[in-house]
Amino acid sequence: MGMVTREKDGFRVRFERVFAHSIDKVWEAITNPEKLKYWFTDIDLELKPGGKLTVHFRDEAKTASYGKIIVVEKPNRFVWMWETEQAEWELSSEGPDKCRVVLTYSKLDEKFAEKAPAGFHLLLDRLVLALDGSKEIFPFGTDIPEFEPIREEYERVVFKQFPELERLKPIVVEKTVNASADRVWKAITDKEQMKQWYFDLSEFKPEVGFEFSFPGQGHKGEKYIHLCKVTEVIPNQKLSYTWKYEGYPGESVVTFELFPDGKGTKVKLTHDGLASFPSDNSDFAKSSFNQGWTELIGKSLPNFIDRNNKV
């Protein structure tokens, strides 16, 4: 695992690994777009200080993110910025077919203190496969099953080391219901069914980019308008959308995931990014969201499914 520390300019993770490949081969793998695509993603870059860097996500929207090259000292040092974050690669030869690699990824915002280290941990694992000759093309910026256990391990370590980050942990509520994934999918995507256990939406479509809104009420009767936008859809498996409030700062992400569980379906609800909402409003407190989702996923949804099973 990488070592995570807090620095003046943000969080930092440092990895040190030894690869059974020459330093020239490793250098080529981390600087050549034709090699990067097999372990990282599709990347355009100008291999010179000040050169442009474009990272292409492999999501449905084909999102692009930008940066620039800072240092190119072949074959020992390669530094680039990705948005506001920085990656520094240091390579040293330890023989004809042995290279020590030190990757330092820094300037991380606290909300990425465990996610980014987990992400680069996975990328380094994929780099080994690519160096060994694999031509597999991996997903990037979309659902990656093998990422979650790595993230959970970093979360355990990072949140123990920096307990003040506990507030950044997402809410996760799980419940197995007595219905097929197709049946549950309809319950979480059909507006006529949603209004019977969830919220009364005027319109909803499980399509990436679809925007919807609905009213809500706080503990003391305050009125809130929820503003949401669908970001990921895998029918009968996964639904994600952003979740924010009109007139208030902050944006979070709500994700429904469906998994086979015996004769039923396990529903996993994850609400991430809650720390971005105003901390001085009790309606935005993590405990409030936890209570609401526990009621919806733990009681309202299964009760709705059971009622309909009897019809």
The reply to whether 170-309 shares the fold of 3-163 is: yes
Question: What pLDDT tens digit does each residue of the chain (311 aa) get?
Answer: 999 999 999 999 999 999 999 999 999 999 999 999 999 999 999 999 999 999 999 987 788 999 999 999 999 999 999 999 999 999 999 988 999 999 999 999 998 999 999 999 999 999 999 999 999 999 998 768 789 899 889 999 999 999 989 888 889 999 999 999 999 999 999 999 999 999 999 999 999 999 999 998 888 888 999 999 999 999 999 999 999 999 999 999 999 999 999 899 999 999 999 988 998 888 998 889 999 999 999 999 999 999 887 65
| Nearest residue to 103 (alpha-carbon basis) of 129, 77, 134 | 77
Residue 122 to residue 274: CA distance in whole angstroms: 26
The domain spans of the chain are 3-163, 170-309
Tell me the CATH number for domain 170-309. Answer: 3.30.530.20
Handedness of CA 105, 110, 111, 113 (dihedral sign): positive
What is the CATH superfamily name and number for domain 3-163? Answer: START domain (3.30.530.20)
**Interatomic CA distance for residues 307 and 311, integer angstroms:** 7
E strand segments, the chain:
3-7, 10-19, 42-45, 52-56, 64-73, 77-82, 85-93, 99-108, 171-177, 211-217, 223-234, 238-245, 252-261, 264-272
CB atoms within 10 A of CB 41: 19
Nearest to 230 by CA among 275, 183, 189, 263: 189
